[in-house]
Amino acid sequence: MLGARQGFTARVKQENPCVVIVHCLLHRENLAAQKLSKDLHKVMNEVIQIVNFIKARALNSRLFSQMCSDFDSTHMHLLYHSEVRWLSRGKVLQRLLELRTETEMFLTEKKHQLAHKFSDSNWLMQVAYLADIFAEINSLNMSMQGRDQTLVGVSEKLSSFKAKLKLWMNKVKAEKTASFPSLNILLENENYSLSQVQDTIVQHMSKLVTEFDHYIPENAQKYSWIRNPFNIEAEDLPEEISNINNLQEQLIEIQSDEALHYDFKRQHESLSSFWIKVYKEKTILGGEAMKALLPFATTYLCEAGFSALTVTKTKYRNRLQPEDDLRCSLTSKSPRFEELVNTLQCQGSH
């Protein structure tokens, strides 16, 4: 739909070539994390089959829940997997590992064809690895959500995650698994050998690095002068920036401004607030910074609006005009109830 050649992007660029088009970084992160190797994809499908066998049948679900209750388990239910819920995979796998004993007993009692998988060390290690890596991806996804997220901050988080992937890959090659808690516990408690799945794990992480580089090219360094304008030489500003000469001069001027430097070091205000203050005096430098800070890095605010509308305008209130209610739901300001109450007359006695 965005279509850089014939779609929405191309049409907008025809009207205004200066418009910046940003593809939601949450969507791009999800696309990069989707692909699994043949072996891991098979493991994931088998986990889904096990969960569906228990959850999709009311009787099985009740019996499994009763079994968990009898064993005083931490959880009473497994979790459904859903492709449209991006945090689903990590949570489903982690819950299965936590209820591993109960699930194995239930499947064995029901003579399910996948019951033997819980005795397969290779399969269990792959499930544990997938649970750990998707937990890390879920953590990254959650950290990129929020009201004050900018391209600068989100790009830094993605660059950090790509660097961690390379670190983890080298550690697994050296047979160090402390970065993967579930896998590490399994290796220590069951005396399994990592060499059985070492190549599979390394290949998957290598594929993740490649996919992240493809969908999210490295650009954190591009914003380093915005993150800390007092720790960069004017000559090091990116050459592609327009009005580079004026920009360099204004950068030198703000670096010499002790008041701005003090405000920046206090860290009481957000990066956007600091650059708004700079923009009032240095329009060229501040304007270039705002080009990176203004675009929405993710669709979080849009999704929050949809969620608020779903809660507010139910089938019982389908004639409601929700504009004012939505404004109240989405605002970050707290109502001054005492002042509002003081403007109204209390109900008199009868």
What gap in Å lies between CA 50 and CA 53, rounded to an integer?
Answer: 5
Name residues whose C-beta falls within 8 Å of residue 185's C-beta, 6 or more positions apart in sequence.
Answer: 128
| pLDDT higher than 80, residue 101 | yes
| pLDDT higher than 60, residue 350 | no
Which pLDDT value is given to residue 321? 86
Going from the C-alpha of 62 to that of each of 55, 68, 102, 108, 238, the distances in angstroms are 9, 10, 13, 17, 62
Stretch 278-289: mean pLDDT: 83
Among residues 164, 162, 169, the alpha carbon closest in space to that of 203 is found at 169
Amino acid letter for position 160 = S
Helix (H) or strand (E) holding 307: helix 300-312
| pLDDT higher than 90, residue 167 | yes
Which pLDDT value is given to residue 120? 86
What gap in Å lies between CA 115 and CA 320, rounded to an integer?
Answer: 52
* Long-range contacts, 2-10 (Cβ 8 Å, 24+): none
What gap in Å lies between CA 225 and CA 155, rounded to an integer?
Answer: 14
Which pLDDT value is given to residue 170? 92
| pLDDT higher than 70, residue 67 | yes
| pLDDT higher than 80, residue 92 | yes
Name residues whose C-beta falls within 8 Å of residue 158's C-beta, 6 or more positions apart in sequence.
Answer: 25, 29, 140, 144, 212, 216, 220
Stretch 2-20: mean pLDDT: 81
Identify the residue whose tokens are 């409601």. 320
Q: Considering only residues 335 and 160, tell me which one the structure prediction assigns the higher pLDDT.
A: 160
Q: Dihedral, CA atoms, 330, 333, 335, 339, nearest 10 degrees?
A: -150
What gap in Å lies between CA 308 and CA 322, rounded to an integer?
Answer: 10
Amino acid letter for position 247 = L
Stretch 36-60: mean pLDDT: 89
Which pLDDT value is given to residue 156? 86
Stretch 277-305: mean pLDDT: 84
Helix (H) or strand (E) holding 328: helix 323-330
* Alpha helical stretches, state H, 35-147: 38-55, 58-70, 88-98, 100-109, 121-143
Q: Considering only residues 83 and 90, tell me which one the structure prediction assigns the higher pLDDT.
A: 90
For 178-213, how does the pLDDT look when each residue is reduced to its tens digit (9 = 90+)?
889 988 888 888 878 888 888 999 999 999 999 988
Going from the C-alpha of 220 to that of each of 151, 210, 278, the distances in angstroms are 9, 17, 22
Which pLDDT value is given to residue 249? 82
Stretch 112-129: mean pLDDT: 89
- pLDDT bin (cut points 50, 70, 90) of residue 239 is low
Which range among 74-88, 158-172, 198-212 shows the weakest confidence by mean pLDDT? Answer: 74-88
Stretch 40-56: mean pLDDT: 89
Task: Please give the share of the chain, as a percent, with pLDDT higher than 70.
Answer: 93
Which pLDDT value is given to residue 19? 81
- pLDDT bin (cut points 50, 70, 90) of residue 121 is confident
Residue 349 phi, psi (nearest 5):
-75, 155
Among residues 103, 91, 87, 99, the alpha carbon closest in space to that of 54 is found at 103
Across the chain, mean pLDDT equals: 84
What gap in Å lies between CA 62 and CA 54, rounded to an integer?
Answer: 9
